[in-house]
A and B are shown apart, each in its own frame.
Chain A
Amino acid sequence: MSADARRHVVVVGAGPAGLAAASAALRAGARVTLLDAAERPGGQYHRTPPEEFAAAHPERLHRGWRTFDRVRRHVLTHPRCAWWPESAVWALERPDPGEERPPRVHVVRGPADGAGRRRHVLDPDALVLAPGAHDRVLPFPGWDLPGVYTAGAAQALAKGERLVVGDQVVIAGSGPFLLPVAESLLEAGSRVVEVLEANPAGTVLRGWGRRPWELASYTGKLAELAEYAALLARHRVPYRCGRAVVEARGDGRVEEVVTARLRPDWSVVPGSERTVPVDAVCVSHGFTPQLELPVAAGCALRRPDPASPAEAFVEVDGDQRTTSPGVYAAGEITGIAGAPAARTEGLIAGWAAGGGAPDAPELVPLRRRRDRDRAFAERLAAAHPVGAAWHGWLRPDTVVCRCEGTAYGALRRAAGEPAGSSARAVKLTTRAGLGPCQARVCGPTVARLLAAGGTPEAAAAEGLPSATPHHRPLAQPVRLGELARRPHTEQEREH
């Protein structure tokens, strides 16, 4: 069989899920094109320093490094794998209704800030989407001051560039991700003043302790938690539940934060405020899956919480197949469950996408592990919800959309005007979500604020785009000149 007669699988994203998917698709006998917007594989989880740092021990600060390194070498050097770094998928073009094939993949290749990017078009037999997630941060007064970082950015600086964000750092928000961030900062040499989990201990423990008989299968995770706890204790870092950073203050950059005790719905307990001097604060309220590609591919989404329709994940079956023909999804876009779960999903998705036998014996333990990881993800979501009253700490002048500088008060005013109260009209009027990040940061927040205010969403009607804030037909910015030039098609590939 010639290489080109083989099944061609395109994998978008070279994080834990995408790398695993590529390796499984190769094992199934397919030809693979693996794409990532970054220069190096690994995604957000295995963020590696650039080669010029010549890190002698990249495994420091990285969990699961050895598996990652093995899979990375296997995939990237495989003769049937084309590795396309610095390649952004900017559009997915769905086939005509009734055509049972995946969408056409439109890519721009080349350094994002360089002038020489070229358009490419791929027509794969199967498409695996593993774009991952990005940090989710709820706004608070002062969150736009220099010195306020997303926890993910702080960790990326520590892991990727070996930079510390500050000497006196508060880590706050919600979710287990606060702990590895604390670990990265401590190992990189920061002093962590405290770690604040917004949910009260009761909520966290209730979520974790659901169906306690199942907990036995999570000994690995519990051991990891115990390690973090020991690390915090060793560095005398308090981990406080039911407390949050509700304001950051400073002249030109953050100098102190105000923390406050929260009720279970995240309303602030009056009089519980404390001022803590800091030179940096890292905030995380979980993760937002990158859903623009699955939405563009026409994949159905599931919404676990009917009260917050903006929070959605890709619906998949037992083989990680989405509702869109030939499109598979793996990793955080199916549910926030962490890197090991993403890897397992990637293996299942890649095998199925590559045409592997559905009854292969290796799949049995993989599927079991995946189901367990999914149950674990639900446990996490239950332990670390976002409280419905969180917006109580916003002030009218608190900026919600940082790209466009839209303040909370302006959003409230626009949404309160019946004549202009559709979500789209509010966005056009306040410009919230219309800036360069295209609502990746503020989209879920704005959707939540509008839903809480009763703003009618666009009706599901023929010809009206879906009401999700993840609707971005242009998944990545493309220069006008790049767009205007004819793309390379597969037949004229250089290699």
Chain B
Amino acid sequence: MRGPRVAVLGAGIVGAACARELARAGLPVTVLERGGPAAATTAHGEGNVLVSDKGPGPELALARLSLALWPRILDEIAERRPETARAVEWDPKGGIVVAATDEGARELERFAAGQRAAGVTAEPLDASGLADAEPHLTRDVAAAVHYPQDAQVQPAAAAAALLADALDAGAELRTRCEVLGPVTRSGRLAAVRTSQGTVEADAFVNAAGPWSGGLAARLGAPVDVRPRRGEVLVTAPLPPTVFHKVYDADYVGAVGSDAEDLRASAVVEATRAGTVLIGSSRRRVGFDDRLRPEVLSVIAAKALRLFPCLDGVPVMRAYGGFRPYVPDHLPIIGPDPRLPGLWHATGHEGAGIGLAPGTARLLADLLLGRTPPLDPAPFRADRPAALGDPSPTGGAA
């Protein structure tokens, strides 16, 4: 293998996708993971691969690129490892966004028109079309839009598949390996000190999700990635009841909001195991992982407004995770001009599963000097939002 040696810091979905892209390009890759692969944010989400929640702009461009890449990557993996690819449970089930009020309906229709202009398939559904698509959904809906491109994966299996494909291509994985600090030579990041000794490389990719703000600060080039808490309810397995990813139009507003306090919207979808996942909340509470029953209560009430028939269904478990949040809601992808040798692939908030393949492609193209398929400038590491508020209370967690 030739080319720059790359160390990927973090074995979540984004680290796994980057490792795969770089290893498949023939680079020597080492993945350093503090715990086990796909154990943190990746394993605590719903597995969204969405275009429906994104308005025209750089994130939508990255989402469309990723959406095109996902099935191709899974086909490639399936040739080598059919079982591994099957476990990813790729399901292009489509999304349905509903608005309850006339005002919400106007807003949704305007949003969908903008998406259509940017190349997204967004089909308005009338009452009978909606009843056919989701027979158990409330009839009390002012407007609904169908997004057939939305898909879902089992996120931990998806990360495992990408990582397995990277390992098959020669990448090396070190688990329980925590990055402790930098080794710089002539202003360049030349190595990292870890709990398992010093690891040298020519490029280090910060893919530590919500912990990447702290990691970047430790390496001497802080970026403003903060945790944003989310909770998901999981019901007991049910007979088929929910057929798409169904969510209320507030979701788009909640995703795009900057509020620290609770933003909740109903997101309801079934998994292959028959359980129904019900989200979602957004709170900026640092790494406070305490369960908040009132948050779960708000999520439950909003979900019941969409699917009143779920009233008597037992919720078996609840889990929470932390999304990597950047104040301008765009990921950070590319080199860090303040510290040559350091690269970032982080800050995807709740969209990391969906955006991982496009992120990895963009990063690899930049790293290898190839022309990327989309403009990398909006994601650059030295934009003001990524560098954070210089006041002492702001900045990375």
CB of B41 to closest CB in A, whole Å? 9
8 sample A-B contacts, Cβ–Cβ < 8 Å, listed by A number: A91-B293, A417-B160, A425-B36, A455-B36, A461-B40, A463-B287, A472-B317, A479-B311
SS of B interface (majority): mixed
**Contact call B315/A418, Cβ cutoff below 8 A:** no
Binds A, one of B91-99, B172-180, B249-257, B337-345: B172-180
**B 315-326 to A, binary, CB cutoff 8 A, 1 in contact else 0:** 111111010000
A436-B316 CB under 8 A given contacts A419-B164, A429-B87, A429-B157: yes
**Is A317's CB within 8 Å of the partner chain B?**
no
**Is B135's CB within 8 Å of the partner chain A?**
no
**Is A300's CB within 8 Å of the partner chain B?**
no
**Is A115's CB within 8 Å of the partner chain B?**
yes
**A91 vs B291: C-alpha distance in the bound complex, in angstroms?**
8
CB of B295 to closest CB in A, whole Å? 10
Q: Could you tell me which residues of chain B, from 152 to 208, have a CB within 8 Å of some CB in chain A? A: 154-157, 159-164, 166-167, 173, 175-176, 178
Interface centre among A91, A424, A436 (most CB of B within 10 A): A424
Binds A, one of B59-67, B300-308, B346-354, B377-385: B300-308
- B322: which A residues are within 8 A, CB to CB? 463
**Is A46's CB within 8 Å of the partner chain B?**
no
CB of A9 to closest CB in B, whole Å? 21
- A94: which B residues are within 8 A, CB to CB? 290
**A 453-464 to B, binary, CB cutoff 8 A, 1 in contact else 0:** 001111101111
A484-B40 CB under 8 A given contacts A422-B35, A463-B287: no
**Is A431's CB within 8 Å of the partner chain B?**
yes
- A419: which B residues are within 8 A, CB to CB? 16, 37, 159-164, 166-167, 173
**Is A434's CB within 8 Å of the partner chain B?**
yes
**Contact call A457/B36, Cβ cutoff below 8 A:** yes
**Of A93, A458, A480, which contacts B293 at CB under 8 A?**
A93
**A 279-311 to B, binary, CB cutoff 8 A, 1 in contact else 0:** 000000000000000001000000000000000
**Is A106's CB within 8 Å of the partner chain B?**
yes
A474-B37 CB under 8 A given contacts A417-B160, A483-B297: no
**Contact call B154/A429, Cβ cutoff below 8 A:** yes
Other contacts beyond A423-B39, A428-B157, A484-B300: 5, CB < 8 A: A424-B36, A428-B156, A465-B289, A480-B278, A484-B297
Give how many A-B residue pairs fall within 8 Å (CB-CB). 172
Q: Could you tell me which residues of chain A, from 402 to 420, have a CB within 8 Å of some CB in chain B? A: 404, 417-420
- A425: which B residues are within 8 A, CB to CB? 36-39, 43, 156-157, 159-160
**Contact call B164/A417, Cβ cutoff below 8 A:** yes
**Of B16, B162, B287, B319, which contacts A473 at CB under 8 A?**
B319
Q: Could you tell me which residues of chain B, from 225 to 248, have a CB within 8 Å of some CB in chain A? A: 227, 233, 235-237
- A438: which B residues are within 8 A, CB to CB? 316-317
**A434 vs B319: C-alpha distance in the bound complex, in angstroms?**
12
Q: Could you tell me which residues of chain B, from 64 to 83, have a CB within 8 Å of some CB in chain A? A: none
**Contact call A458/B40, Cβ cutoff below 8 A:** yes
**A473 vs B317: C-alpha distance in the bound complex, in angstroms?**
7
**Of B38, B39, B312, B320, which contacts A115 at CB under 8 A?**
B312
A480-B289 CB under 8 A given contacts A422-B37, A458-B36: no
**Of B157, B227, B289, B303, which contacts A420 at CB under 8 A?**
B157
CB of A316 to closest CB in B, whole Å? 22
**Of B273, B301, B314, which contacts A478 at CB under 8 A?**
B314
Beta-carbon nearest neighbor of A422 in chain B = B36
Number of chain A residues close to chain B: CB under 8 A: 45
B residues engaging A (CB < 8 A)? 16, 34-40, 43, 84, 87, 154-157, 159-164, 166-167, 173, 175-176, 178, 210-211, 227, 233, 235-237, 273, 275, 278, 287, 289-293, 296-297, 300-301, 303-304, 310-320, 322
**A435 vs B159: C-alpha distance in the bound complex, in angstroms?**
23
**A424 vs B175: C-alpha distance in the bound complex, in angstroms?**
14
- B290: which A residues are within 8 A, CB to CB? 93-94
**Contact call A484/B304, Cβ cutoff below 8 A:** yes
CB of B24 to closest CB in A, whole Å? 14
**A479 vs B39: C-alpha distance in the bound complex, in angstroms?**
28
Beta-carbon nearest neighbor of B292 in chain A = A93
Beta-carbon nearest neighbor of A461 in chain B = B34
**Is A387's CB within 8 Å of the partner chain B?**
no
**Is A184's CB within 8 Å of the partner chain B?**
no
A483-B315 CB under 8 A given contacts A423-B36, A429-B157, A473-B291: yes
**Is A270's CB within 8 Å of the partner chain B?**
no
- B161: which A residues are within 8 A, CB to CB? 419
**A311 vs B161: C-alpha distance in the bound complex, in angstroms?**
31
CB of B217 to closest CB in A, whole Å? 14
CB of B313 to closest CB in A, whole Å? 5
**Is A252's CB within 8 Å of the partner chain B?**
no
**Contact call A474/B315, Cβ cutoff below 8 A:** yes
- A361: which B residues are within 8 A, CB to CB? none
**A404 vs B273: C-alpha distance in the bound complex, in angstroms?**
9
**Is A271's CB within 8 Å of the partner chain B?**
no
**Is A481's CB within 8 Å of the partner chain B?**
yes
- B292: which A residues are within 8 A, CB to CB? 93
**Contact call B39/A458, Cβ cutoff below 8 A:** yes
**Contact call A420/B160, Cβ cutoff below 8 A:** yes
**A51 vs B287: C-alpha distance in the bound complex, in angstroms?**
50
**Of A436, A457, A484, which contacts B236 at CB under 8 A?**
A436
**Contact call A428/B313, Cβ cutoff below 8 A:** no
**A94 vs B290: C-alpha distance in the bound complex, in angstroms?**
7
- B287: which A residues are within 8 A, CB to CB? 462-463
**A458 vs B278: C-alpha distance in the bound complex, in angstroms?**
25
**A423 vs B176: C-alpha distance in the bound complex, in angstroms?**
13
**A423 vs B236: C-alpha distance in the bound complex, in angstroms?**
22
**Is A318's CB within 8 Å of the partner chain B?**
no
Q: Could you tell me which residues of chain A, from 476 to 495, have a CB within 8 Å of some CB in chain B? A: 477-481, 483-486
**Contact call A421/B36, Cβ cutoff below 8 A:** yes
Interface centre among A420, A472, A478, A479 (most CB of B within 10 A): A420
**Contact call B312/A479, Cβ cutoff below 8 A:** yes
CB of B234 to closest CB in A, whole Å? 8
- A115: which B residues are within 8 A, CB to CB? 312
Beta-carbon nearest neighbor of A481 in chain B = B311
- B317: which A residues are within 8 A, CB to CB? 434, 438, 472-474
**A423 vs B237: C-alpha distance in the bound complex, in angstroms?**
22
CB of B93 to closest CB in A, whole Å? 19
- A481: which B residues are within 8 A, CB to CB? 300, 304, 310-312
Beta-carbon nearest neighbor of A115 in chain B = B312
**Contact call B157/A480, Cβ cutoff below 8 A:** no
Minimum-distance CB pairs A-B, first 9: A422-B36, A420-B160, A463-B287, A459-B35, A481-B311, A419-B163, A419-B164, A422-B39, A484-B301
CB of A420 to closest CB in B, whole Å? 3
**Contact call B312/A106, Cβ cutoff below 8 A:** no
A93-B291 CB under 8 A given contacts A425-B156, A481-B312: yes
- A423: which B residues are within 8 A, CB to CB? 36, 39
A477-B43 CB under 8 A given contacts A417-B160, A429-B157, A463-B210: no
CB of A59 to closest CB in B, whole Å? 37
- B39: which A residues are within 8 A, CB to CB? 422-425, 458, 464
**A269 vs B281: C-alpha distance in the bound complex, in angstroms?**
55
**A422 vs B155: C-alpha distance in the bound complex, in angstroms?**
13
CB of A441 to closest CB in B, whole Å? 14
Beta-carbon nearest neighbor of B88 in chain A = A429
